[in-house]
Structure 1
Amino acid sequence: MGKDYYDVLGITKSATVDDIKKAYRKQALRYHPDKNKSPEAEDTFKEIAEAYDILSDPEKKDVYDRFGEEGLKGGGGPTGAGAGGPGTFNYTFQGDPHAVFAEFFGGRNPFDQLFGNRNGGFHEEMNQEDPFARFGMSGGGLGGLPRSFSSGMGGMGGMGGGTSLTKRQDPPVVHDLQVTLEEVFSGCVKKMKISHQRLNPDRRSWRTQDKILEVEIKKGWKEGTKITFPKEGDETPSNIPADVVFVLKDKPHPVFRRDGADIIYPAKVSLRDALCGCTVRAPTLDGRTVTLTTSDIVRPGMKRRITGEGLPLAKSPGRRGDLVVEFEVKFPESLSASARGTIFQVLPTS
């Protein structure tokens, strides 16, 4: 004797499509493991989902009505609803009962969506048999639901099973992407591996899938530039996948620091060179060396620009910013008495 799926949902064989949906709603809410903590709740919840999966599908229901569970699951039933000859239907419930629940209600947890319960269960003051009774919805109807409440839930179509709640896209998933100044100077492609959930063909269950995203870094891109890959976030029956966003961050450089399209090179010079003139050999990002000579007195923090030796401009890659030489004067740790006397005689007092 096979299972009586009508009995599982508490209905008769004459039940209409709406009766089946209302029965599933009532039984699924009653035995959902978030609410029902009895040891058999999980198995019953799965059995309810299987019953709904069969009875809500005209072809499966027709085979089940004529041949029972054995015929439905490979015991000699026909290959199609209208077939009269031998064959095997071979039905197996391979879905996730929680995914069936999520798809039916248009969200992962209607308890939270409807009542704001952060702990995933029912409020104590709710009717345990019919948690919707306090809204005037006993018996499966939605007529007693306040208009503002109904509007806020997208019409609550998923509660009746005919339509689902409007899917909303999850917030963007943001990752920092560190790049070196050399990579910004030349441009490059970074390969980033992500893991995200994707729905299986049944559109109810899902799997984890790895994917390589190729992030093109164009010449001169500024820190904070965002590169967006649409809908590469997790996919479930009740959501629109989030966008995955990479935000450029400058990786600290051992020599330079960045200021827009300019790069700053700190040049350390002695006090003597600062007073008497000096020559600085500054490196560039492409491996060359440029020479800067000054006969002026160098003051701490003084800057000199070497035009066109910085980073490419993002909007005009053919043009470049400047290499800015920022002088740092190194003062001696100590002076001999004779050196101190000489400086005292040579340098002006004001």
Structure 2
Amino acid sequence: MSAERKKKDYYEILGVSRNATQEEIKEAYRKLALKYHPDVNKSKEAEEKFKEITEAYAVLSDPEKRRQYDMYGEEGIYSQYTQEDIFRGVDFEDLFKDFGFDFSEIFRQFFGNFSGGYSLDIEQDIDVSLQDLYTGGKKQITVSRYESCKACNGTGVEKGSRWITCPVCKGSGQIRSYRRTPFGTMVTVTTCQRCMGAGRIPEKVCKVCNGTGRIFNTAKIEVNIPLDVQDGERLRLKGQGHYLNGQKGDLYLNVHLIPDLRFKKDGYDLYSELEVDYLDAILGATTKFLNIDGEEIKIEIPRLTQNGDTIRIKGKGFPKPYFGRGDLILKVKVRLPSKLSEEEKALLEKLREVNRQHLQN
């Protein structure tokens, strides 16, 4: 066991001495985290290294966890704390707020959610059509979630009442259980279920939310969908998840692009087909085309238009990020008649004869 503990030495992982100050530990972790962050380092080893240095920092930056580690090694940490407990209390967002990285998403993927064991995030699917993107990338969706109770402003306390210390955890927000092991007395820490980790409870609870500070509601949210969104992409709406104890989770939307039978998208251009009567293709004509948003567009068909030719209508494609739109590109499909009247046959025969004479001259 001692060899295994030496192999996973938190001080060695961060490159600091065993008597390093909190500031030295913090600075060492910041440098290593920025070096191995998955957005910066794409190597296969970077992800495991990032997890390793983060666990080391979570332990050594907490005086109580560090003391337990110094006394009993990593076995002492694993026997006393769950993975959630190891990372609880470390403000990674504040630690990296000046670097422009979204560390919350990375920690969510690697280590799970640390909001007292209760996930405040919501995940659901969203169907996106080409029409949604064409009309500006906005779509209204319905989300069922816990929201802050308006009657008590999310406190759970009846107006005029006050907060009192939780009688179960005595204000700590945690329940500790002790047990003896070969390494000494170990402590298991769990979230207090009475106060949900807050350490206090209302003397008189709000009658609307029964003291929870939140109510279940179905909300309508307008989503801004990126114009270059891909099928299977995951969109994050910060603060649109469940509410609990003054905190809001995030809403994650799994995008499903709905195929369109008439239209296709390539970049900011919109593609479709335009059926043209064979006589209009020969002689030229004016026709109308029903665009994806229901607009009727006037189309000028040039004389002697060939099957497979394209007609480009400027500014009728998808909106661009800052200004302007792409183009609507129509591929001509010349429509031939399935049957002819006697009069039409006679006229076409006469036209063929004229064409032959023209070619001979």
TM-score range, shorter chain: 0.3 to 0.5
Give the TM-score taking structure 2 as reference length: 0.41
Greater relative CO, 1 or 2 (CA 8 Å, sep 6+): 2
Give the TM-score taking structure 1 as reference length: 0.42
